[in-house]
Amino acid sequence: MRMKKLFLLGMLCLIGFSFQAQAQKKKNKKVATIEIKTSSQCEMCKERIEKAMAYEKGIKSAVLNVESKILTVTYKTRKTNPDKIRKAVSKVGYDADEVPAWKKAYDKLPACCQKGGHDGGKMKMKKN
């Protein structure tokens, strides 16, 4: 009798772990990662963009490499998509790939965070 209980308990644990592993596989398929070229200039830009991304629905993580100006975003595919993420970056005041920065947000950036603040580049802006 005791052996049957141990065997049954072992089988239940095995089945439980199997279902958990399957659920984890399905969960991983719902997450994607993209890289977005931004017009960021400095560490202040990094903080501003990463903080803004933390408040966007569906974004699990966002890390900006200041040197390459590449924003790497991991997101839930059921909650958001690359176009929404690019638009969110542009609303903070930065170019996001081919999506230009929103003018109102760009104008509010500190001088060092605007294009030309560090390297004298030209800015393309989207009027709101």
Strand partners, 36: 71
Q: pTM score, two decimals?
A: 0.70
For domain 31-126, the question of CATH label 3.30.70.100 is answered with yes
pLDDT of residue 88 exceeding 90: yes
Q: Which of 117, 121, 93, 119 is nearest to 107 (CA)?
A: 93
Confidence of residue 123 (pLDDT cuts 50, 70, 90): very low
Tens of pLDDT, residue by residue over 10-60, are: 776 667 666 666 665 555 569 999 999 999 999 999 999 999 999 999 999
pLDDT of residue 119: 55
Q: What residues does each domain of the chain span?
A: 31-126
DSSP 98: T
Helix (H) or strand (E) holding 126: strand 125-126
| Residue 99: closest CA among 112, 118, 117, 86 | 86
pLDDT at 15: 75
How does pLDDT run across 89-110, given as a tens digit for each residue?
999 999 999 999 999 999 999 9
